[in-house]
Amino acid sequence: MKYYIFFFSALFLFSCNPKNGLGQVYTGEALGTTYNIQFFSEGPLENFESSLDSIFSVINHSLSTYTTKSDISKINRGDTLVVVDDHFRKVFEASKDVYNKSQGYFDPTVGILVNAYGFGPGKPIKQLDRPVLDSLQQLVGFNNIELSTDNTIQKKDAMIYLDFNAIAKGYTIDVIADFLESNDVDNYLVELGGELRAKGKNLDKDANWVVGIDDPMQQEGDRVLKATLELNNSAMATSGNYRKFREDSLTGQKFVHTINPLTGKAEKSNLLSASVLAETCMMADGYATAFMAMGFESSRDLAEKLDIQVYLVYSSENGQVKIYNSPGFKYQ
């Protein structure tokens, strides 16, 4: 899974594959990635495809930095009159919670740095020297932006750039899950770009849903799983700069480079991937992103403090790839 999620104009390629008369599978492309939705229902959900189309379209219109007419793009251009919708409000409030609890390591205003390094929709800056980074760093800080009671965004500086891409994919999964449950679907697995949320069982196999965690050390073109686990009435998100690590020539320790919102730098991190279990995929997505910026030791400590269930792949000082998992993260 990529650290940042890319939203594009949605292309929907639906494929429905009924199984035993109850099971249904829908696959396609949306929000710049692929999805796979499996669920069990007494019959096909009426207008399922159009409902899914509507979910992607509405969220894109609200939160996509790749859509010039979206609410977030208008806000980023300095429009103070935009009244945001409920999707924006929920993502904003969840982001504020993760921002506070991670002490700023998860920060949606880091988008201006994402663009500067060439990871976002904006043009990269060719020479990111210290004076330029210091200038951009003045525009980073989620504490400098507020959602007012009239649902408009108030920024201390008009140039502050919002980017919810590191949490919006998880939120979209939650919206799809809520849609399924509102239609009396109690057994489902929703996957979007590698993030997951499950409820009930895979009735075809009369077993819990089984999902996998990619090995961050796998080679380009391979699909190697580091672990598998049963996902039961919960969500899981994984962040990691797969195959984009560097190795210290002296110690052999492996590092990935992640933008640190607190310094503005693309810094070394010994955390190669972070998988998080949570009740909602939005919160799992947010913390998985925060942990990548924090590094292994700080991530482990925060997970223990907040009782967050994690599976962390990290590089030790002597270059060994090791695993840390919290007691509630059961895997095979």
One DSSP character per residue, 121-189 reads: SSPPPS---HHHHHHHHTT--GGGEEE-TTS-EEESSTT-----HHHHHHHHHHHHHHHHHHTT--SEE
Range 91-110 average pLDDT: 97
113-155 confidence digits (pLDDT tens): 888 887 777 777 878 788 888 899 999 999 999 999 999 999 9
- The torsion region of residue 147 among left (phi > 0), alpha (psi -120 to 50) and beta comes to beta
Range 157-163 average pLDDT: 94
Query: For the chain, first and last CA: distance in Å?
Result: 20
Token code pair at residue 100: 């506070």
**Closest listed residue to residue 51, CA positions, set 164, 196, 177, 188:** 177
186-200 confidence digits (pLDDT tens): 999 999 999 999 999
Q: Which is more confident, 224 or 220?
A: 224
Whether the per-residue pLDDT at 59 is higher than 60: the answer is yes
Q: How many CB atoms lie within 10 A of CB 216?
A: 25
Spatial CB neighbours of 71, under 8 Å, sequence gap ≥ 6: 61, 62, 63, 82, 84, 85, 88
pTM for the predicted model, two decimal places: 0.89
How far apart, in whole angstroms, are the C-alpha atoms of residue 114 and residue 128? 12
Would you state the pLDDT for residue 210? Answer: 95
**Closest listed residue to residue 112, CA positions, set 101, 97, 128, 98:** 128
Token code pair at residue 51: 């409902």
The CA-CA-CA angle for residues 64, 36, 20, to 5°, reads: 150
Whether the per-residue pLDDT at 84 is higher than 80: the answer is yes
How far apart, in whole angstroms, are the C-alpha atoms of residue 251 and residue 263? 25
Would you state the pLDDT for residue 247? Answer: 63
Of all helices (H) and strands (E), which one includes residue 268? strand 266-269
Range 163-186 average pLDDT: 96
Cβ atoms of residues 234 and 329 within 8 Å: no
Q: Which is more confident, 66 or 278?
A: 278
How far apart, in whole angstroms, are the C-alpha atoms of residue 41 and residue 180? 10
Instruction: Kindly indicate the confidence band of residue 318, based on its pLDDT and cuts at 50, 70 and 90.
Output: confident
Q: What radius of gyration, in Å, describes the C-alpha atoms of the chain?
A: 20
231-249 confidence digits (pLDDT tens): 999 999 999 865 555 666 5
**Helices 281-294, 86-101: crossing angle, 10 deg rounding:** 40
Range 172-184 average pLDDT: 96
Instruction: Kindly indicate the confidence band of residue 47, based on its pLDDT and cuts at 50, 70 and 90.
Output: confident
**Maximum Cα interatomic distance, the chain, rounded to a whole number of Å:** 63
How far apart, in whole angstroms, are the C-alpha atoms of residue 177 and residue 199? 9
Question: What one-letter code names the amino acid at 102?
Answer: S
Cβ atoms of residues 249 and 275 within 8 Å: no
Would you state the pLDDT for residue 317? Answer: 86
The HSE-up count of residue 101 (CA atoms within 13 Å, CB side) is: 22
Would you state the pLDDT for residue 16? Answer: 47
Spatial CB neighbours of 51, under 8 Å, sequence gap ≥ 6: 45, 179
Structural domains of the chain, with CATH: 206-325 (3.10.520.10)
How far apart, in whole angstroms, are the C-alpha atoms of residue 196 and residue 217? 21
Cβ atoms of residues 25 and 38 within 8 Å: yes
Cβ atoms of residues 253 and 317 within 8 Å: yes
